[in-house]
Structure 1
Amino acid sequence: MTTETTTEKPPVSVAIITDGGKVLMARRRAAEGEISWVFPGGAIEAGESPEQAAVREVDEETGLKVESVKVLGDRVHPKSKVPMHYVAVRLVGGEARVADDEELDAIMWATHAELPGLVPYGLFGPVQEYLDDVLPH
């Protein structure tokens, strides 16, 4: 009989950044299965709230300054099995760019219509509902 050691995956917080009728998406340098285009984000560090982690990760990955608006929800991601927190943020300043080229190889401002092509397995319900409300389609 074989036994598998499972390590808990650290929880991740991602930021839903909308501006000018689009949402910021980042393409991971190394896809994880079907997961290639993602919302900017990363592991929550000790002592951080999901909101603080989302704001910090956006700055580290894209160079944008944002502030938390509200937590949209959390779940264990059905594909990666990572505990996820989804945070709506407001753009405060900066120009979107790939600031962390070890993790990301591209970023884009996506329209509502482009999302199904970037995330073919669908978005987390509360995130989709939020984007349905704030993005023109």
Structure 2
Amino acid sequence: MSEQTPDDQRPPIAAAVVIQDGAVLLVRRRIKEGSLSWQFPAGEVEADESPESAAAREANEETGITVVNGKKLGERVHPNTGRTMIYVAFDSVEGEASVVDDDELDSLAWVKHSELTSYVPYPFFEPVQRHLDRILSK
């Protein structure tokens, strides 16, 4: 029987907050038991990479886009998962986003500020919400 690593010893998760043409990229992730959830492209930070590099890698692996010049927005222990989350903002996008990792993702959407609560019915982590409010409300 294998033991699970405690959440505080597991690598942090880096989330890519990608903005393009006045919209933020959200992916609908397949989660255990088939339920689906809208969130940012994200994944574990590997031992040899920065959170910015991890977020960029995950955005590419999941959606096929290339993002650069990430800026860390903040980090927290996620209240639902207990995992350390690091949020990284990107506003330089190359390529056309599509579902590349269809084992992990169901779909994706570019979401305007006025549509955010239709996808995620609660406020984002405060530094992320402030960033979205500032960038997407222009």
Q: TM-score, normalised by structure 1?
A: 0.88
**CA RMSD of superposed structures (Å):** 2.1
Q: Would you say 1:39 and 2:1 are equivalent positions?
A: no
Matched residues in 1 for 2:68 and 2:132: separation?
17
> Offset at 1:115?
1.2
Residue 95 of structure 2 is matched in structure 1 by 94
Matched residues in 2 for 1:67 and 1:59: separation?
11
> Offset at 1:116?
1.6
Residue 86 of structure 2 is matched in structure 1 by 85
Q: Which structure shows the bigger proportion of residues in strand conformation?
A: 1
1:57-83 deviations in whole A, cap 9, x for unaligned?
111000000013310000001111110
Q: Would you say 1:118 and 2:129 are equivalent positions?
A: no
> Offset at 1:35?
7.3
Matched residues in 2 for 1:35 and 1:102: separation?
12
> Offset at 1:92?
3.2
Aligned residues: 133
Matched residues in 2 for 1:19 and 1:96: separation?
11
User: Matched residue of 1:98: which SS?
Assistant: coil
1:114-135 deviations in whole A, cap 9, x for unaligned?
1122222320000000011100
Note closer, same or farther for the CA distance 1:113–1:86 as it changes in structure 2 (3 Å cut): same
Task: Work out whether residues 68 and 87 of structure 1, in 8 Å CA contact, stay in contact via their aligned partners in 2.
Answer: no
Residue 66 of structure 2 is matched in structure 1 by 65
Task: Work out whether residues 26 and 38 of structure 1, in 8 Å CA contact, stay in contact via their aligned partners in 2.
Answer: yes
